[in-house]
């Protein structure tokens, strides 16, 4: 599975297509005339080669959605074992739905997670 950085005019959006926040982000970007390349965690998996960059940019504490259903369904031992980049990476690769969505890699290479129109407006 090859994953490349976005071109100068493309924004890469990573997530799950039926996630409401991902839908809102994709719609907002499209409405602004931004070219969006979507990566579906369910069909394409989590891009393991990109995780270190995401972790460096935003940290595992932000990237792991500890308020979501997937996290809450994990047993206490599994949740307690997530303490650093390595353990968070293992969890995210095994359970893509635990990643806060969407993860966006902007045309300049910057990484953000989540969606608000205000935050996105400052990027495009």
Return d(Cα 120, Cα 106) in angstroms, integer.
Answer: 10
The verdict on whether omega for the bond into residue 115 sits within 30 degrees of 0, i.e. cis, is no
Mean pLDDT of 113-119: 96
pLDDT in tens, 12-50: 999 999 999 999 999 999 999 999 999 999 999 999 999
Domains and CATH numbers, the chain: 11-121 (3.40.30.10)
Percent of the chain at pLDDT exceeding 90: 90
Q: Is the dihedral of CA 15, 82, 106, 48 positive or negative?
A: negative
* Dist. CA 36–CA 99, nearest whole Å: 19
- Whether the full predicted model's pTM is greater than 0.85, yes or no, is yes
Residues contacting residue 106 through CB under 8 Å, at least 6 positions apart = 6, 11, 112, 123
Q: Just list the catalytic residues.
A: 19
């Amino acid at each position: 599975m090859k994953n490349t950085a976005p071109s100068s005019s493309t924004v890469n959006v990573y997530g799950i297509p039926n996630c409401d926040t991902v839908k809102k982000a994709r719609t907002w970007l499209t409405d602004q005339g931004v070219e969006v390349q979507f990566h579906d965690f369910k069909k394409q998996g989590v891009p393991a080669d990109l995780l270190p960059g995401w972790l460096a940019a935003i940290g595992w504490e932000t990237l792991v959605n500890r308020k979501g259903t997937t996290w809450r369904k994990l047993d206490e031992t599994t949740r307690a074992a997530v303490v650093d980049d390595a353990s968070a990476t293992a969890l995210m690769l095994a359970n893509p739905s635990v990643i806060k969505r969407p993860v966006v890699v902007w045309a300049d290479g910057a990484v953000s997670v989540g969606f608000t129109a205000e935050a996105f407006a400052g990027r495009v």
